[in-house]
Structures are given as C-alpha cells and as structure tokens.
C-alpha cells in the first residue's frame, strides 16, 4: 500500500461528517460501498460505476460499487467486496482493505452506509457484470477529479440543495458520491482551487417532463 493511501486512511477514519449525512439514532438500512484506489497509467485512480437508467433508486447516477449488507456477510468490508464483485467482476483477493470512513446516511434512500477504503493490490479487468443495475464501470484518475476544469456545483431536489460535482469520463458525479469524492480530495491533499459560482441543475425524465432529482 502506498504511503499516501495510509495517510488518507488515517485522516478519513476520523473525518467530520456533515449534519445532513449523519445517521439517525435508530433505523436506516445497513449498506456498504467500496472506495477502491489503484495505480493506473495516469497515477492514482478510483473505481466508479454508473447505474442504469430507470432504477427505482439513484437511477443513472455514478456511484462507488456497493449495496445492502446481507445476513450472510461477515462484515461491512465483506459486503462491500461482495457487491463490487457482483457489479463489476472485481476479484476480491486482489484487494487489501485499508480502513473505513465514519458511517454516513443517505436520507433519500434511507441507507446507513459504511464506506470501505481499499487498495487494488492486484488489478483485474472490470466491466458491468450485473447488467440490470450497472451501465458502465470506470477507473477514474484522481488527477481528473481534482482538475478545476472538471469541477462544478450541482443543484438538485427542489433547488434548495447543492453540492460538489465532477464531470469525468462522460459522467456527472454528484450527490452522496460527489460529497465523498470532494472530502477525499481535501483529505488526500489533492484539492485545487476551482470556481464555485456556476450551478449545474440535475433533472430526470418523467412522463410529465423533466423534474428535479432529489
């Protein structure tokens, strides 16, 4: 594991959770995601999927691989690796789990999320293997996420909510995933100054026309 990831893991394990992402005292469905860093041809990269359009939750959104923690999963780490294998064909034995971020909450879907940090020690080919859920799989360079030219502010929901967004590899990364990426760039020392004035609105298609996502 590279020293920068060890430092990032230490910083991320104790990061401050924004109020809107703090889990409730009770309730919420337990889930886990895999934040998998590797070393690609353009430096450090992170594995992202794009969900299919038309799903009941988070339709069309880029995300980290992951999903619900099942009773058969020994731990959140096991769940994150299992889900990543099911969604992308990832070989779990090639991944070293290096840490975990504080538990986060997605109010829109009522998920309590354990973000598991991993190092891709032995990279393998990845592709959409759960075709009902996943449209594409990408290894996105950290340099592309940090590039100010790719950063935007996204407004969603009823227009009163906004957060960081990233235009990379034909995707707009925003929402829960965008917030985590934004925080990891800061904690990893990769963040560069960028213009926050412009807003990008996020809409989804419905039979009655476009409506804000939220």
pLDDT digits (tens, 9 = 90+) for 169-195: 999 999 999 999 999 999 999 999 998
CA distance 117 to 95: 10
Helix (H) or strand (E) holding 168: strand 161-168
**Residue 25: CA count within 13 A, CB half-sphere:** 0
pLDDT of residue 209: 39
Please state the domain extents for the chain. 3-212
pLDDT of residue 40: 95
pLDDT of residue 98: 97
* SS3 readout for 69-124: CCCCCCCHHHHHHHHHHHHHCCCHHHEEEEEECCCEEECCCCEEEEEEEEEECCCC
Q: Give the number of residues written for the chain.
A: 214
CA distances from 32 to 43, 104, 113, 199 (A): 26, 10, 5, 30
- Quick check: pTM over 0.95? no
CA distance 41 to 11: 26
CA distance 140 to 154: 19
Residue 170: Cβ within 10 Å count: 9
Task: Please list the rounded mean pLDDT of every run of 10 residues in the chain (214 residues).
Answer: 96 94 94 98 96 67 96 98 98 98 93 98 96 94 97 82 92 94 97 86 50 50
Instruction: Give the architecture (CATH level 2) of 3-212.
Output: Alpha-Beta Complex (3.90)
Residue 212 near residue 157 (C-beta atoms within 8 A): yes
CA distance 188 to 197: 24
pLDDT of residue 205: 42
* Dihedral in degrees, nearest 10, Cα atoms 55, 65, 50, 140: 170
Residue 156 near residue 212 (C-beta atoms within 8 A): yes
């Amino acid at each position: 594991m590279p020293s920068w990831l060890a430092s990032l893991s230490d910083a991320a394990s104790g990061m401050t959770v924004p109020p809107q992402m703090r889990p409730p005292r009770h309730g919420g469905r337990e889930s886990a995601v895999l934040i998998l860093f590797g070393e690609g041809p353009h430096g450090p990269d992170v594995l992202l999927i794009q969900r299919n359009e038309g799903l009941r939750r988070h339709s069309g959104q880029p995300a980290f691989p992951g999903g619900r923690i099942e009773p058969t999963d020994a731990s959140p780490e096991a769940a994150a690796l299992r889900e990543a294998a099911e969604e992308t064909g990832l070989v779990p034995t090639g991944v070293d789990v290096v840490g975990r971020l504080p538990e986060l909450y997605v109010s829109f879907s009522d998920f309590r999320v354990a973000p598991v940090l991993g190092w891709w020690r032995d990279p393998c080919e990845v592709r959409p293997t759960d075709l009902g859920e996943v449209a594409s799989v990408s290894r996105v360079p950290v340099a592309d996420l940090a590039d100010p030219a790719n950063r935007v502010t996204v407004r969603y929901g009823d227009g009163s909510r906004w957060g960081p967004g990233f235009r990379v590899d034909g995707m707009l990364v925003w929402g829960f995933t965008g917030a985590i990426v934004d925080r990891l760039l800061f904690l990893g020392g990769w963040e560069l100054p960028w213009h926050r004035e412009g807003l990008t609105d996020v809409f989804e298609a419905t039979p009655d026309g476009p409506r804000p996502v939220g």
